[in-house]
């Protein structure tokens, strides 16, 4: 079928994103050599009837009040403008393309078309090759995007070859400690030597085979601190504290442990236990009478009375802290998005609304 191509650009009065990118480039280049930026969204559509494409041009693909619409050919750049085209890597979810395809499907009541998008940056200014390279690095996250071709393809339907099986790591289960140390360093794994030994023992005794590199990477990622709070659950068996006030707090914690776990096997001493021991103590001493407990709780939920237009009503006050909990070593931008996603997910899943929030940001090795 025919591939329909169009370009959509915000009119100058509404080009907020282009102005923001211009400021970002001034910061990245540390000069004012970039004089102006234009941003165009490119759409390629296939498996759509011409009448449905025409109907979508000024309803789904663009808004005539705020957008310029160009069909087939993008605007010709000025002599001192260069065009940088970017697109998502194959396999990356393209929300703009998916939303466009769904809207056309709903409006036409036909099959969902194939849509592929790209973004064109018209960057005006007398720029050196090094500055253009820096602009590319600023605008493209290589983990999820790449430079796109300006040529129109004959088809945008992607065909994939059957991938080869992931390579097996020969000799892994026979590695001695020095070999495991070398393996850990060569592959830049997040796990430590003891974790790797544990994994090796599993493949030695349970699987009775060598793992594939994919298995090692998956275990390393989802065993990492970003996915299972490894640090919080690490057993603390050697404690040395200098400041007296910290030592006093630690001794109070140990005393609480003796009371809380009296008569039963105590949980391992770890940061997670340290962080939750206070709530356990209050509950044991009968002081958490207003705590709401159910199978679906994903936050601290407290029963409270709320004055609603002069009437006292029963409400749940939900307190939630969200961590940056994601395989960030693979994709840092996705990691940050996951933190925000969790902050959105938890109020929704608790059928609550957010009325207060605090963001605490830190960075360290």
Query: What total of structural domains would you count in the chain?
Result: 4
Q: Between residues 313 and 330, which one has the greater pLDDT? A: 313
Q: Do 275 and 307 have their domain in common?
A: no
Confidence of residue 365 (pLDDT cuts 50, 70, 90): low
Which secondary-structure segment (H or E) carries 86? strand 81-88
Q: At what angle do helices 244-260 and 271-284 cross, to 10 degrees?
A: 60
Q: Do 199 and 317 have their domain in common?
A: no
Evaluate whether residue 56 is within a structural domain: yes
Residue 265: pLDDT above 70? yes
Q: Do 342 and 284 have their domain in common?
A: no
173: Cβ contacts below 8 Å, ≥ 6 apart? 200, 203, 204, 209, 210
- Are 118 and 90 in contact, with CB atoms under 8 Å apart? no
Nearest in space to 271 (alpha carbons), one of 239, 238, 300, 234: 234
- Residue-number span of the structural domain to which 249 is assigned: 240-289
Evaluate whether residue 159 is within a structural domain: no
Q: Do 136 and 203 have their domain in common?
A: no
Question: Among 247-251, 278-282, 321-325, which stretch is predicted with the lowest mean pLDDT?
Answer: 321-325
Q: Do 9 and 141 have their domain in common?
A: yes
Evaluate whether residue 164 is within a structural domain: no
Evaluate whether residue 21 is within a structural domain: yes
> pTM for this one?
0.62
In this predicted structure, what is the pLDDT of residue 39?
A: 98
Q: Do 302 and 184 have their domain in common?
A: no
Q: Between residues 49 and 362, which one has the greater pLDDT? A: 49
List alpha helices for the chain, DSSP H.
Answer: 16-29, 50-57, 95-108, 129-139, 177-187, 193-202, 213-222, 225-228, 230-233, 244-260, 271-284, 332-349
Of the chain, the end-to-end C-alpha distance in Å amounts to 53
Evaluate whether residue 235 is within a structural domain: no
CA dist., res. 237 & res. 224, Å (int): 21
Question: Among 81-85, 306-310, 327-331, which stretch is predicted with the lowest mean pLDDT?
Answer: 327-331
């Amino acid at each position: 079928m025919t591939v329909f191509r169009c370009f959509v650009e915000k009119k100058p009065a509404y080009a907020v994103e282009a102005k923001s990118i211009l400021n970002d480039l001034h910061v990245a280049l540390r000069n004012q050599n970039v004089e102006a930026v234009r941003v165009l969204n490119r759409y390629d559509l296939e498996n759509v009837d011409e009448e449905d494409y025409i109907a979508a041009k000024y309803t789904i693909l663009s808004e005539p009040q705020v957008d310029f619409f160009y069909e087939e050919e993008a605007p010709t750049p000025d002599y001192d403008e260069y065009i940088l085209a970017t697109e998502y890597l194959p396999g990356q979810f393209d929300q703009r393309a998916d939303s466009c395809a769904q809207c056309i499907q709903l409006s036409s009541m036909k099959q969902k078309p194939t849509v592929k998008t790209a973004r064109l940056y018209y960057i005006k200014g007398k720029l050196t090759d090094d500055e253009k390279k820096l602009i590319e690095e600023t605008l493209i996250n290589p983990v999820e995007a790449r430079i796109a071709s300006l040529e129109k393809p004959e088809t945008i339907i992607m065909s994939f070859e059957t991938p080869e099986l992931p390579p097996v790591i020969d000799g892994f289960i026979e590695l001695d400690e020095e070999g495991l140390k070398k393996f850990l360093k060569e592959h830049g794994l997040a796990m430590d030597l003891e974790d790797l030994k544990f994994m090796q023992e599993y493949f030695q005794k349970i699987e009775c085979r060598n793992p594939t590199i994919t298995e090692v990477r998956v275990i390393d990622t989802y065993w990492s601190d970003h996915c299972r709070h490894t640090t919080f659950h690490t057993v603390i068996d050697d404690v040395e504290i200098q400041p007296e006030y910290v030592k006093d707090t630690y001794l109070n914690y140990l005393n609480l442990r003796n009371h809380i776990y009296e008569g039963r096997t105590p949980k391992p001493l770890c940061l997670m236990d340290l962080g939750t021991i206070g709530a356990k103590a209050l509950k044991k001493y009968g002081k958490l009478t207003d705590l709401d407990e159910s199978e679906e709780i994903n936050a601290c939920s407290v029963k409270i009375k709320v004055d609603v237009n002069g009437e006292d009503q029963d409400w749940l006050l939900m307190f939630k802290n969200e961590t940056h909990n994601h395989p960030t070593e693979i994709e840092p931008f996705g990691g940050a998005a996951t933190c925000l996603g969790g902050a959105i997910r938890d109020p929704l899943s608790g059928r609550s609304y957010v009325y207060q929030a605090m963001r605490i940001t830190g960075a360290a090795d």
